[in-house]
Homo-oligomer: A and B are copies of this chain.
Amino acid sequence: MKTIFSFGLALLTSIVLIEAQSIDTIKYYDGQQFTIIGRFHSEKNYARFPANYKDKLREPVWNLGQHSAGISIRFRTNSPFIAVRWAVKNDAVMDHMPFTGIKGVDLYSYVDGSWKYINTGRVQGKRNEFMMVGGAGNNYREYLLNLPLYDGADTVSIGISNPASITMPQENYLIAKKPVVYYGSSIAQGGCASRPGLLFTNILARKLDRPFINMGFSGSGTFDLSVGEALCETDAVLYVIDCNPNTTRDLIYERAVALVKYLKEKRPDVPVLLVEAFPYVNGFTKPLESENHKKNLELKRAYDTLKKSGIKQLYYRKGEGLIGDDYEGTVDGVHPNDIGMLRIAEELEPTIRKLIK
């Protein structure tokens, strides 16, 4: 028998709902009407690749590309409350990441000069509805709704007070600048953030006021040239390549060299940052003897070869320090928990900030 604990939140939600409903009725608007960030196409969905990539990509990459990791809806409203309805494709379950991260949504608003967390859309199943906030007043505010990390969003709609108004954003926060494109593994896709806003590329987007296109593909971030083709379609300010966690040691050198050469041929002016895997450490592991370390040496060898061959604007970030050194930054020894996600964002921020100047 499964036991569901409510934590007494049912009560809180009811209060918000009562408050909301006593003000007005809720009117829902399709999320596709607003500004969608974190993807490089304009098809009417929340997928990371446009349809014409289905035959170009390996099947798992295409399938994972249906997950809405890093995709967000930007809008503006003066509604005193905001509800969200969303339906996910798979109702996916994993044991080391909460449903709120896998298939939930979370909402930020731009308040007093920065993006601030407002609330999380709690998950009931494949179809979900949640009152995100009440008591927001009647001022216009800019919002950011982050979509599920490990499931696909089939539909998303935003509910506001009937006489209130909801529009495209009027402020350019997160929209004005060219995106950073981040290609990586399950870690880059957001495993295992507790809610979408804590995926490190989403944290970095808010910190740097810059959209990120998340190309993290769980288990399948393997320096694919077919993904490289998609990267070249983006109007990127920077490519970050963080594929070591998913690539076997014998393939890293060859594939990293090939992918960077391909990117530099098609997009010579876009800088490329290669990122090592952080050490998968525990109290026993000797990082310098680990397979992880040996894989990182292969990435470094690829970097050295590329630099010697005359490739310009190629940069390198070592894995050490990315999730701290207290061993507490993962949920399972491999995937960052929220502590690790925040640390990765804080560690990468100065490097990326310098490269996108």
Contacts and interface: CB of A to CB of B under 8 A. Distances in A.
Contact of A219 (B7, B97, B133): B7
Contacts of A194: 96, 98, 192, 194, 331, 337-338
Given A2-B91, A120-B333, A194-B338, 15 more contacts: A1-B90, A3-B93, A4-B92, A4-B93, A5-B219, A9-B334, A12-B334, A94-B98, A117-B327, A118-B282, A118-B283, A133-B282, A133-B284, A194-B331, A338-B338
A95 B90 contact: no
A284 B118 contact: yes
Interface stretch (A104-112, A235-243, A252-260): A104-112
Contacts of A198: 328, 337, 339
Given A98-B192, A194-B331, A334-B9, A283 B108 contact: yes
The number of times this chain is found in the oligomer is 2
Given A95-B122, A194-B96, A283 B4 contact: no
Nearest to A343: B339
A317 B203 CA distance: 31
Interface string A120-137: 101110000000010111
A100 B94 CA distance: 10
Contacts of A302: none
23 contacts: A2-B92, A2-B93, A3-B93, A3-B151, A5-B218, A5-B219, A7-B94, A8-B186, A9-B334, A95-B99, A96-B98, A96-B194, A97-B98, A98-B192, A98-B331, A100-B331, A118-B283, A118-B333, A194-B337, A195-B337, A198-B328, A328-B338, A328-B342
A160 to B, nearest CB: 15
Nearest to A285: B135
A111 B1 contact: no
A109 B335 contact: no
A331 B197 CA distance: 10
A96 B120 CA distance: 9
A332 to B, nearest CB: 5
Contacts of A218: 5, 7-8
A119 interface: yes
A330 to B, nearest CB: 8
Query: Is chain A's interface secondary structure helix, strand, loop, or mixed overall?
Result: loop
Interface string A42-64: 00000000000000000000000
A191 interface: yes
A294 interface: no
Contact of A338 (B150, B334, B337): B337
B94 A283 contact: no
